[in-house]
Chains A and B, each alone.
Chain A
Amino acid sequence: MTEAAHSSLVHAFDSQRGRHILVPDGSRIYDLASELALEVDTAVSAGEDAVARLLERYGLASSPYIDDVPLQDPPIRALSLAVAQKCNLGCAYCYAQGGDFGGVPRNMSWPIARAAIERLIDAAEPGQRVNLAFLGGEPLVNRALVRDATAFAADQAKARDIRVGFSITTNGTLLSAEDASFFEEYGFAVTVSLDGVGDTHDRLRPFRGGDGSYARIMARVKPLLDRQQRMQVSARVTVTPLNIQLQDMLDEFVATGFHSVGFSPMLSAPMGRLELNQPDLMTMLEEMIGCARKFESETVAGRRYPFSNMTEALRQIHRGIHRPYSCGAGAGYFGVSAEGGLFACHRFVDDENGRLGDVKDGLQRDKRNAWLAERHVHRQEPCSKCWARYLCGGGCHHEVIYRGRPACDFIRGWLHHCLITYVNVMEQRPDFFSAERS
């Protein structure tokens, strides 16, 4: 993945099948006959004008898929409720700073949850889909509210012919058999935070008293894993320098029966503890590519291997997702704090930089539109010079604001490998994409 020269207009890569190019504008992927490969390389070395002329000649130039105009007043499509801003674990790197986001630990009240849900449902038209997520802290500390809010949202949505999806992110220590039935009934996407197998996890995610939590979590997750009909239970690993060996972990969690397993790098922690530095990120990239190779061989052999970083990337690459934002934060998605503040996302809860309104009075339109204008990828540097800008969207806003962009090489390296995997999988298992599309 070392290239002599880069272009923001085209990115070349080689698969088993030959040479390909990604045209970032529209995230279009083309196969090239081998005799054109040199032309592309020459143009990239000669600079952007030469690349533009080449695309013109190939008939691949088009009016830009994404212009400079920021989104304005998009409707709310998803909310996450910080139902309990407290937690029974003491993870060193927690963005919520032990669940209380740096403030006094507290629970969300019913009137706040209700107002948030009404705001979400009111913004949707019949037939549309919205999502309600429960986060914390540890949301199951406030289990009663999770249940009431879910039932209420389902009723409201049904009356308006709106489809509502539910999700919850939990540390897994408080899960019960009743929770399994409840999540199954409402078809929850349950994400369990796990940072490794056994001791590795225990070191990173101990109880506040210092005891390990892994054994207890796995015992409590087991009944959920056995009952995944409507519900889907996924594992999510926050990668720090202490748990960077990913391949065995992935195998273990896949074998345990998780619906999917995903990794995300720890890039910005409130106290800076356990953040990944540059060499760490390169190590992680190697590990991720190792996981990707396993994914490819399993998938080509026709076996399910739910490595969600890859499955999600392939789905997006296949559709040619091109986006001016990295995520829906502040656009279709907001995090609701225990007091009812509307924040750009769950990571901004109780952070004045990300406060864009509250559930009672709604969004502060100017502030929110200013946020969207500010966060547009065309306003980010050095994104305009990067071929991956419309696949990446400029990176997590929270991380960018608080740590900058330390992970660009990591993201490009990962996406480069995803592109190769995409072509390889498509050549050998095109059915993978027909299933993904449905």
Chain B
Amino acid sequence: MSDNEISARNKIFPRNLTARSNSALERVVGNPANTRLESGVANCFPGLEFDVRTLDNRFFPGLLFRFVTKPLYPEEGTIPNQQGVRLLYIDYLNDPMLPETSELSWVKKLLTDYDANGKLAQAVSKGRWYLDWIEQDGKRLSMTDPQGNYYSCEIAWRFIRGLSPEGELRIGLIRRDALDPKPYYELVGERRRYVNAAGLYDLAYRPGELTESMCNPWSHDFRDCACHYWASNHPDVVIRDVPGSVEQAGAATVYVDWLSVVDRTSTIPAAGTIAQNRLFQIDHYEINQKWEKLPFVLEGREIGREYRPRQEEPGQPYGSDQELIDELSELARMELTLALEYLYALLSLRDPKSAEVRNAKWPGLAADLKVVRDFILLVAVGEMAHLRWANEMLWELDRANIRPNGWRYSPIVELAKNYPTLRLERRLEPLNPKTLDRFIDLERPSGEITRAYSRCVATLRNTKYPVAAYELALRIDGEGTDHYERFLGIKRILQAYGGGSGSFPYLRKVIRGRRDQTECERALELFEELRGHLGKAYAHAAERNSKLERSCIDAARRTMLMFRDEAEDLAEVRGIGVPFWDD
């Protein structure tokens, strides 16, 4: 932005509500909405959403201070007398209180002092400079007590907080680490008004500045204030990170109270009410003492080790509309086929309610099987959602007249013969460790599926494509590592059940049926019916006929339930796995 532009922008004042919100969007990017004074916690505990002390870091125009505390356990050789209000640096170029065109004598004087060649700027570039005193209405407050000891930052901050926004403000700056007489400057100005008439923060505050000192000790105020409200980035319940331990494998599934105990191996499940959880929670003073023991939580899980964010490899856009459509069609077929691989694996697991599981020598087997089955089902359901979205992207393309070589959308509910994108064969296998490793590999975050979707994202980003398709691709691509981590969790759980003899107590004895086998007839019929309903539902959705779409989806759901009963029966009673395809 040129000086000309900055200067013009400072002469325009938003008046009505749309103008104000537009300016807010434009100018306070980075300081989130919840740092605005009026959006404090339910307006009852203002200031708890951010550290109000950061406002005072810029209490004097053109200067940035930091409130420095005395170290509790100083290292040997630590420089003494660091506490107080330390001057970090001069920051005046974009300070709205100091426009170069100002006629005010104090502004002109400060601009001269702050100039890089000015005496003050030269002086403060060396050594440690502190606020020495403040003066308003002829009253001066020193930053040292009558015995000459430096006040702590908390006390100094209280003095500054008490300054009036009206009237002249004088301050003294001193270099503490120099020999006597210590270099010394006196400045005259006015205290910053933290918000303007529209309620927006003064533009001197940089994006992100107001939340920068937020940390857990701060949040204990929430408990002090009895509001039982945690800032939005504080989790209530989390899944523990319990690496390696076979005994703790089930912990991967239990939600515990994040504040429950500082011993991070406990897996007492969180109870449903505050009162019940309160007994096990650390107290607020403990939050201060042990805050660094409360781990970071991302995506609902505690992060015990170094967190490696997903590598965002920018995908390579597909070369043509045709290639994009071919790839999306391929992905749709793959999602359905994967869902069936997972379903087959799910059906190879024993029924946790069956007598043989309940009477097995493994006391935790029933509970673990229930969890593992739920996990696989969730992943399979996720694949079905992707199947729909892949179809949806295709019909959105059709609607937007992206129709290379006369292509038109028709629902894709067929299976893939293999996975060319993944360079893998499709398989129907029971959930033995080898199969599990294969699943983990398939869903690996850096794997080929992710890459394929990131290419879709890169392609659909082009505005010639409908935005709905782009958003769907983003959504699939952004789903993260959920499937992968669920399979890892399953692996941790099932590791407990050895299998030295090559047999596994969690597996049914199931052999894959043949498609022409009479026993499999009903299940296969139901499966075909299911595909039929899905295909029709997508066709109606593509034509925006939501009523018919819904009725077909309902029919598909009903059929799915019947199919599941039939397939469970087939596996449990006859030991046959549904042959979704022949090799």
Cβ-closest chain B residue relative to A62? B22
| Cβ contact within 8 Å between B12 and A58 | yes
Min Cβ gap A298→B in Å is 22
Residues of A within 8 A of B17 (CB): 318-320
Q: Which residues 1-23 in B have Cβ within 8 Å of A in the complex?
A: 4-5, 8-9, 11-19, 22
Is B137 interfacial (CB 8 A cutoff)?
A: no
Is B26 interfacial (CB 8 A cutoff)?
A: yes
CA distance A426 to B15 in the complex (A): 9
| Cβ contact within 8 Å between A29 and B15 | yes
Residues of B within 8 A of A62 (CB): 22
| Cβ contact within 8 Å between B15 and A31 | yes
Majority-rule SS of A interface residues: mixed
CA distance A319 to B18 in the complex (A): 6
Cβ-closest chain B residue relative to A27? B18
| Cβ contact within 8 Å between B12 and A32 | yes
Residues of A within 8 A of B19 (CB): 23, 26, 28-30, 320
CA distance A319 to B11 in the complex (A): 22
| Cβ contact within 8 Å between B8 and A422 | no
| Cβ contact within 8 Å between B18 and A57 | no
Residues of B within 8 A of A35 (CB): 11
CA distance A36 to B183 in the complex (A): 44
Min Cβ gap B399→A in Å is 13
Min Cβ gap B4→A in Å is 7
Residues of B within 8 A of A20 (CB): 15
Cβ-neighbour of B13 out of A26, A27, A30 (below 8 A): A30
| Cβ contact within 8 Å between A26 and B11 | no
Is A310 interfacial (CB 8 A cutoff)?
A: no
| Cβ contact within 8 Å between B4 and A57 | yes
| Cβ contact within 8 Å between A31 and B12 | yes
CA distance A262 to B15 in the complex (A): 27
CA distance A51 to B139 in the complex (A): 52
Residues of B within 8 A of A423 (CB): 15
Cβ-closest chain B residue relative to A15? B15
Residues of B within 8 A of A32 (CB): 11-12
Residues of A within 8 A of B5 (CB): 57-59
CA distance A35 to B13 in the complex (A): 14
Residues of B within 8 A of A31 (CB): 12-13, 15
CA distance A65 to B15 in the complex (A): 18
| Cβ contact within 8 Å between B18 and A58 | no
CA distance A58 to B9 in the complex (A): 5
Min Cβ gap B486→A in Å is 35
Cβ-neighbour of A26 out of B4, B9, B12, B22 (below 8 A): B22
Q: Which residues 268-324 in A have Cβ within 8 Å of B in the complex?
A: 317-320, 322
Residues of A within 8 A of B8 (CB): 36, 39, 57-58
Contact with B along A225-238 (1 / 0, CB 8 A): 00000000000000
Cβ-closest chain A residue relative to B1? A59
Min Cβ gap A23→B in Å is 8
CA distance A26 to B17 in the complex (A): 10
Is A33 interfacial (CB 8 A cutoff)?
A: yes
Contact with A along B107-145 (1 / 0, CB 8 A): 000000000000000000000000000000000000000
CA distance A320 to B19 in the complex (A): 8
Is A50 interfacial (CB 8 A cutoff)?
A: no
| Cβ contact within 8 Å between B12 and A36 | yes
Which of A35, A60, A423 gathers the greatest number of chain B CB atoms within 10 Å? A60
| Cβ contact within 8 Å between A422 and B12 | no
Residues of B within 8 A of A28 (CB): 14, 16, 18-19, 22
Cβ-neighbour of B9 out of A59, A319, A322, A426 (below 8 A): A59
Residues of A within 8 A of B12 (CB): 30-33, 36, 58-60
| Cβ contact within 8 Å between B11 and A29 | no
Residues of B within 8 A of A59 (CB): 5, 9, 12, 26
Q: Which residues 1-41 in A have Cβ within 8 Å of B in the complex?
A: 20, 23, 26-33, 35-36, 39
Residues of B within 8 A of A33 (CB): 11-12
CA distance A377 to B136 in the complex (A): 58
Residues of B within 8 A of A23 (CB): 19
Min Cβ gap A51→B in Å is 14
| Cβ contact within 8 Å between A422 and B9 | no
Residues of A within 8 A of B22 (CB): 26, 28, 60, 62
Residues of B within 8 A of A57 (CB): 4-5, 8
| Cβ contact within 8 Å between B15 and A30 | yes
Cβ-closest chain A residue relative to B27? A59
Min Cβ gap A347→B in Å is 30
| Cβ contact within 8 Å between A29 and B9 | no
Min Cβ gap A317→B in Å is 6
Interface pairs (8), CB distance under 8 Å? A26-B19, A27-B16, A28-B18, A30-B19, A36-B8, A58-B8, A322-B18, A426-B15
Binding site for B on A (CB under 8 A): 20, 23, 26-33, 35-36, 39, 57-60, 62, 65, 317-320, 322, 422-423, 426
Minimum-distance CB pairs A-B, first 7 = A320-B18, A33-B11, A28-B19, A31-B13, A29-B16, A29-B15, A26-B18
Binding site for A on B (CB under 8 A): 4-5, 8-9, 11-19, 22, 26
Beyond A26-B18, A319-B18, list 14 extra A-B contacts (CB 8 Å).
Answer: A28-B14, A28-B19, A29-B16, A30-B12, A31-B12, A36-B8, A36-B11, A58-B12, A59-B12, A60-B22, A318-B17, A320-B16, A320-B19, A423-B15
